[in-house]
Amino acid sequence: MIDPDGYRPNVGIVLMNPDGRVFWARRVRRDGWQFPQGGMNSDETPLEAMYRELREETGLTAGHVDVLGVTPGWLRYRLPPRAVRRNDRLVCIGQKQVWYLLRFTGNDADLRLDLTDKPEFDHWRWVDFWYPLEHVVTFKRGVYVRALQHLAPFARQVAGSAAVPTISLETQRSRGRAGGAGPGDRFRGAPRVPAGARRSSGEPS
């Protein structure tokens, strides 16, 4: 599913331990590390796609997590020219994403990377909340800055400001590139944090 502008609808997942560290995984047969993410099917809501991708890429279910926060609109990034398949009938030039912050309520043993025939990841670890900004592939960095900056207040409610410190605008600019959601990019029918998750996280309703 690709929109008229060439962007594929996608969901991203920031899985966070109660101590503020986040799940960081290595792509199979590649040296790149990233958060879980995946494309939406045409019959899925973003929330449904998120839970499906969570299961496929980490082995976790809704019972292992609480939804703490979600970005309110599409965040876009363009693929590097070498990754654009120009011979396809519908050319995908990038991804437009809705990002979720999840609190992990299970145990490390619940994490499974091998539940599908084609796993996305072959290794994972917990890293500091802002660590991914300086270690994700360059063309995704701007989206990561915007997603984490939006989700950080929700993370702080659980982990505290010491684990998720505020970063300055100058730091944001040095770590990310311009881009992201623009005028008219608010996601119509934007996914809402379930009421139960709001209460459990202490987020105001």
d(CA 67, CA 173): 28
d(CA 68, CA 22): 13
The pTM score is 0.82
Per-residue tokens: 136: 């994700």
Please answer whether residues 39 and 26 qualify as being in contact, where contact means their C-beta atoms are separated by less than 8 angstroms. Answer: no
pLDDT digits (tens, 9 = 90+) for 8-64: 999 999 999 999 999 999 999 877 999 999 999 999 999 999 999 999 999 999 999
Longest alpha-carbon distance in the chain: 49
pLDDT digits (tens, 9 = 90+) for 68-111: 999 998 999 999 888 787 766 778 889 999 999 999 999 999 99
